[in-house]
Amino acid sequence: MPAEYIEKDSPPRLTSARTRIPITTDRRRWTKKSPDITDALDFWAFAGAAANVAMQIGWPEVAYGVMESKVESGALMHHPWKRARTTTQYLAVAILGTDEERRAYREAVNGAHRHVRSDENSPVRYNAFNRDLQMWVAACLYLGFEDTFQLLHGRMSDEDLEHFYRNASTLGTTLQVTEDMWPATRADFDRYWNSACERVTYDEKTKQFVEDLIGLEMIARPIRAPFRNLLRFLTIGTLAPYFREQLGFEWTEDDRRRFEHLFIFVSFVNRFLPKFIRHGGSFMLMRDLRRRIRKGTNPIG
């Protein structure tokens, strides 16, 4: 497990009740048994994308790596659509790709990450090749898939959670995270996650970045206006209580009920949509990646 930022021998002080969103609905009767992470590539899995970014930048080194990035072409606040494409394409290749495709994507991402490092003006030291930072980001990505899958399909049993988790390590190992760093079991992951969350802290600059993100400040005003309130609601709803507290977000019992009812409705509608629609975005991104690899062009554009 990552050691540089986490005390390995001390038990976590935080519990899952504070570091995870509550899933109160039982397993939907139409959900297949023993789901795996490939089943989570539903387009609704990205409803919590902004929340996932907010979780990732809870570690200051990740936050300043994102906010100070010198790779202007991939900066979230300057090129949001390209950043969204490259991130979702990374998730697709990490979960659906072959070893060769993951290797090609890793090399392309490494080219961009070489420029993401702190300088003498940075308040914290960071380097995009730091494996512990990448492990934290990958853990956030995994939690995002698990949470949204359970919002859509209901609470998984311990056995189903273990099966769902089994092949998730590629979310980290597609970059520099090594297989032995990835927690071996779902219970090990819980211990890692609760310990890692103890490092979460947001300064005022990072809080403002999150506000700008969920306020869609990087998008033209006429486009963002219809979606801003929904994005804020989905973002706060998919943040665990501990992250909401750290960011100063309010979430009432009425909000919780509305959020739960929304996903009950979405889950019902979703069951009638064919897989090629629900997972179509990931399939399209994989076709684009394979085309780029065949042509010998940069996989991330």
Mean of all residue pLDDT scores within the chain: 90
* Burial group, residue 251, by CB count within 10 angstroms (0-12, 13-18, 19+): middle
Q: How far is CA 285 from its chain centroid? A: 17
| 80-119 as b/e: b if 16+ CB within 10 A | eeebebbbbbbbbbbbbbeeebbebbbebbeebbeebbee
CA distances from 265 to 33, 46, 152, 175, 218 (A): 21, 17, 9, 36, 30
Share of the chain above pLDDT 90, in %: 72
90-142: per-residue pLDDT in tens?
A: 999 999 999 999 999 999 999 888 889 999 999 999 999 999 999 999 999 99
Question: Looking at the predicted structure, is the pLDDT value of residue 78 above 90?
Answer: no
- Nearest-10 Cα torsion for 121, 124, 129, 135: -160
* Least confident span in 75-84, 108-117, 119-128, 143-152: 75-84
In this predicted structure, the answer to whether residue 1 has a pLDDT above a threshold of 50 is no
| Spatial separation of the C-alpha atoms in residues 264 and 281, rounded to whole Å | 23
Residue 92 sits at the vertex; the CA angle it makes with 133 and 3, to the nearest 5 degrees, is 20
What string of DSSP letters covers 113-176? HTT-B--TT-SS--BTT-HHHHHHHHHHHHHHHHHHHHHHH-PPPHHHHHHHHTTTTHHHHTTT
Domains in the chain: boundaries? 16-71+126-271
CA nearest to 48, candidates 196, 251, 217, 239: 239
The predicted pLDDT at position 58 comes to: 98
pLDDT tens sequence across 221-257: 777 777 889 999 999 999 999 999 999 999 999 999 9
CA 299/CA 73 separation, integer angstroms: 14
In contact, 76 and 218? CB cutoff 8 Å: yes
pLDDT at res. 2: 44
